[in-house]
Amino acid sequence: MKKFLPFLFLFFIQVVNAQQVLEYFTAKNGYESAFDQASTVLMEPKLFFVATTFMDNEVLGELKYDLKTGKANFWLYGFVDGQDTTKKVVVGTFKLFIYFSQVFDPEDIDPGDFPFLNEHYFDNLEWLDSDSANYYFNTCQPYVDFASSGEKPEFFNLGLFYNTNFDELPANIPVWGAYILLTNNKGFIFPAVNIETRQTFCNYLIASIKDKGIAFNAINIIKNGDYLMLSSDDILGDVEINVFSLDGKNIFSKSFFSNGQQESIFVPFSSFSNGIYIIIAKSNKNVGISKISILN
């Protein structure tokens, strides 16, 4: 976002309390502005993802999504050139009385990091708007509870995309999905809706004082080079490990059985891109959640 922020700063320097006047709008409301901007660099822009997140910015203030209304004050749109699918751009859009859109430099946001399936464009579908998707998310009670709590997530990402990364969802279906990572290693919430069939999904793992059946943070996770060291007071038994990037992508998965209380598991961290990752290890009634930083 390095090149986008100076552009925004030049605009907002004339505005008093700009942070308080950014308007919330649905994904479809901002689409036309984003499409027009994409058209300046692509011959035939085709929409292949929409996304938003929570982010603090010194110029714009808090960029966020409203979990109760399905609106955000900032959206990202991914476009691919229908005449040359090697060309992709990401456009950021916000609203201050009128819509403003800007193409990001690939060094700031790489469109290649987002799921893309050839010939699967949202232009060819009557896709649900974000407020309609939020209506379906409300069939997931943990999502409703979190939205009502007023808590801030450790990380939040919402997107319209064709699923290629999440094992919790059928492959290659068009979905709106919201990935919420809770603070203090309390777990995650991941509601989703298939925009074609309206089938809903409610995946979550939450530590609760009312939940006596599952022991959270009962598996100790330590990264040592390209290995994860797992330890528990109980026999590990059937273990499932998942490593997620902060945009919710499942980067690595492994299942195995252990007769012991400790285990060393190879994970190719040296091949990972630099960044923050979330590790979730599940074993019988025990769970461990850890956040690591990769700097190769």
Sequence-ordered strand ranges (E) for 107-249: 155-162, 174-181, 187-194, 200-206, 215-216, 219-224, 227-232, 237-245
- Cα distance between residue 116 and residue 277, in whole Å: 22
Q: In the chain, which residues have pLDDT < 50?
A: 1-19, 208-214
Task: Supply the pLDDT for residue 214.
Answer: 47
End-to-end CA distance of the chain: 22
Task: Supply the pLDDT for residue 26.
Answer: 97
Task: List pLDDT tens digits, range 49-87.
Answer: 999 988 776 666 788 899 999 999 999 999 999 899 889
Give the full edge-to-edge strand order of the sheet including 84-96. 98-103, 84-96, 75-81, 45-53, 155-162, 174-181, 187-194, 200-206
Task: Supply the pLDDT for residue 146.
Answer: 92
Task: Supply the pLDDT for residue 20.
Answer: 52
Task: Supply the pLDDT for residue 219.
Answer: 86
Task: Supply the pLDDT for residue 112.
Answer: 74
Q: Which amino acid is at 174?
A: P
- Cα distance between residue 196 and residue 295, in whole Å: 40
3-state SS assignment for residue 118: coil
Alpha helices in the chain (DSSP H): 4-12, 27-38, 130-137, 141-149
- Cα distance between residue 178 and residue 156, in whole Å: 7
State the virtual CA torsion across 179, 183, 184, 185 in degrees, nearest 10.
Answer: 0
CB 91 within 8 A of CB 41: no
- Domains (ranges, CATH) in the chain? 16-206 (no CATH), 215-294 (2.60.40.3080)
Q: 267-287 burial, b if ≥16 CB within 10 A, otherwise e?
A: bebeebeeeebbbbbbbeebb
Task: Supply the pLDDT for residue 121.
Answer: 85
CB 202 within 8 A of CB 143: yes
Q: Provide the token pair at 56.
A: 């603090």
Whose CA is closest to 76, among 44, 20, 30, 125?
Answer: 30
Residue given tokens 């038994």 in the structure block: 237
